[in-house]
Every structure is written in C-alpha cells, then in structure tokens.
Amino acid sequence: MDLHRRLLERLRPAARGLGRLYHPRTWKEKGLAWTAALLVGTWLVLSVLLGIYWSLPPDPFDVEAVARARAEAHDDRLVTGYVFTSTLMRLAETLLEKPGGYLSNDRFPPGVWLDNLPNWEYGVLVMLRDGTQALRNHFSRSQSQSLEDPDLARAEPQFNFQNDSWMLPATEREYRKGLAALGRYLERLSDPRHRDAQFYARADNLRLYLEIVSKRLGGLSQRLSASVGQVRVNTDLAGEEGAAQATPTPSEVEVRTPWLEIDDVFYEARGATWALLHLLRAIEIDFASVLQKKNAVVSLRQIIRELEYTQQPLLSPVVLNGSGFGLLANYSLTMANYIARANAALIDLRDLLQRG
C-alpha cells in the first residue's frame, strides 16, 4: 500500500505537467504553430504506440476447444471434419478480428506504416486458401466424378480475392462472404438431415493436401535460406531423362533475397507456419483413425513439434541477418531449418499414407 502511494506521489507532478501542456490557456500563450506541433507530435506518438500493439501476432489457440465451443453455440454435433473446418473459420476470423483488424489493405496510419504483420497475414492467408481448396476438392468429395459442395464452391473463390483491395469491394467484405459460406457448410455437415454435406477422412485425400503443403514449405525454406545469398545447382530437370522445359536456364543460379525483403519473407513464413500448425492439429483429430491405422500419428506429431519451434519469441526487435557462420544470428536460416525439418517429416508422412 505504501509503495502504491509513493508511486502515485511521483506520478502526480508529471500528470500536472501534462495537464498544463494540453490546457487551452497554454495553447493561447504559445501560439498556433506551437499548438499545431504539439498536436501533430501527440498524434505521431499515439500512432506509433497503437502500431506496436497492432503488430503483436495473435496467440495460438486450442483447435478442439474452439470447435467444441462453436458446436455448443450453434447446437451442432462434433462430427468428422468439424474441427478442421472450424479451424479454417478461426483462421479467417483471426485475420479479420484481431487487434487492428485486417491490415494488408490499410491506406491510413498507423496501418499503412506497418510491414511485418501484413506479411504475417499473407502467410496465414495462403494456408487458409490451401486448406479451403483441399476441403472443396478432396475432403468433401468421395470420388473424382462426385459433385462439389455448393457452399465450398462459394467459399474458395472468396478467399482467393485480392488481398489488398481497399474498397469497391474491400478485401474484408469478400473474406467475410467466404467465412459465411464455410459456416453454412459446417452447419449442414453436423446436421444428419443434410446428407449432401460430407467430409471424407481418407488417406488418399489427406496425402493430396499434404503434397500441396510440402511445396509451400519447400518454397518458404528456399526463400529464407536465400537471405545470405547462395549459388545453387539447377536441378529443375533432374531425375528424368526425357524432361524438357520451355526456356533454357543456366546450370548454376545465384539466389539472394533483397535486404529490404528479408523481414517480409521471415514474417510470411512465421504466419504460414502458425496457420499450418493449427490445421495439422485439427487433422490429428479428424483423421485420427486413418493415422492410427497407418501408424502415422507419431510422424504427424513430429511435424507439429518442428512447427512449434518456428513460433518462439524473437529476442531482437529486428530480424537479424548475420552470415551463416558469422558473429550475429541469422533468424531466416534458423526458421528455414525448422521448416525444412518439418517438410522432411511431412514427406515421410506422405509415404506412410501411401504405403500403409
């Protein structure tokens, strides 16, 4: 209690000073130019503080708890596929409803000044698009000639809308339409009277989705590794004697991520792995019987563990970019290592699902 009182006593003079600073009488004494400078400076400070708050990435969530809460709120049954679809919806809700809302299309401060979180949003968006596409084309269809679900056919194009459209129409408006379509599918999926809404937890469907994910992780790993610059052997046509390509390319290619884009790639990868981490946890629940039969549960958990490492807090306010064996750390190479290990485990998981 004494400590609290002493703290208030120390802050009281500062509060009085601020009160005098913003009093109309002080403005009148100092003049118009001084007052304008004070107001502009105050606005800049508040914008910076608000921007810092908006730049904090959302916390992870329990996919099963979120799905159960959603089912209870709508009086739904927790059927196969409910957790995966609910997780896709939660990813979309996070993009739209986190502090500051959706920032990638902001045209005014402080959103227009922010850089890291819009790239994080794009990484999440890519995984949301891939998950919705897999749901539309694989998980909800039993065979190649089966009909697609009408609500999923509406949802996927909405999430593929331009990610930085400010108005006419705004990106948020189109993504909310996709979110509503996913909600209608989920409602029909949990209702036994609607037999046209299905989710097929099968090994072949899951393998097709993981193939897309593997390419995403491979691309992110390559872009992150290019932060230090590398000369790579061109392996585009390796492994097949009769392979051909449209345009000739040199046998060795030098790749380097521009210095100003290093943090962009890093935060995009951080957002993508954050979203994928939750989607794989949902798959562990919805595909539990398939994974157990294929003896693949441990493999999936190893992938999840590697992705969890990508979400460790940064100890530096900037993305450090030291050389591979230099004095400073290189956050991009560390992230690339975790993603490459997750991708290697994911390839093994795909082999398990194929062979059994």
Per-residue pLDDT of 126-172, as tens digits, reads: 999 999 999 999 999 887 667 889 999 999 999 999 998 988 899 99
Structure tokens at 105: 């299309």
pLDDT per position as a tens digit, 287-298: 999 999 999 999
pLDDT at residue number 304: 96
In the numeric block, which tokens belong to residue 350? 């795909």
Of the candidates 57, 89, 18, 36, the residue with the CA atom closest to the CA atom of residue 310: 57
Cα–Cα separations (whole angstroms), residue 163 to 61, 127, 171, 336: 24, 13, 6, 25
Q: Is the pLDDT of residue 239 over 60?
A: no
Please name the amino acid found at residue 309.
Y
Please state the rounded mean pLDDT for residues 34-50: 81
For 98-109, the pLDDT digits (tens) are 998 898 888 888
- Residue 219 has a pLDDT of 92
Q: How confident is the model at residue 68 (pLDDT cuts 50, 70, 90)?
A: very high
Each residue of 307-336: pLDDT tens digit?
A: 999 999 888 878 888 776 777 788 888 999
Q: What pLDDT sits at residue 145?
A: 66
- Does residue 272 carry a pLDDT above 90? yes
pLDDT of 19 > 80? The answer is: no
Listed by start position, the domains of the chain span: 60-199, 201-232+253-356
For the whole prediction, is pTM greater than 0.85? yes
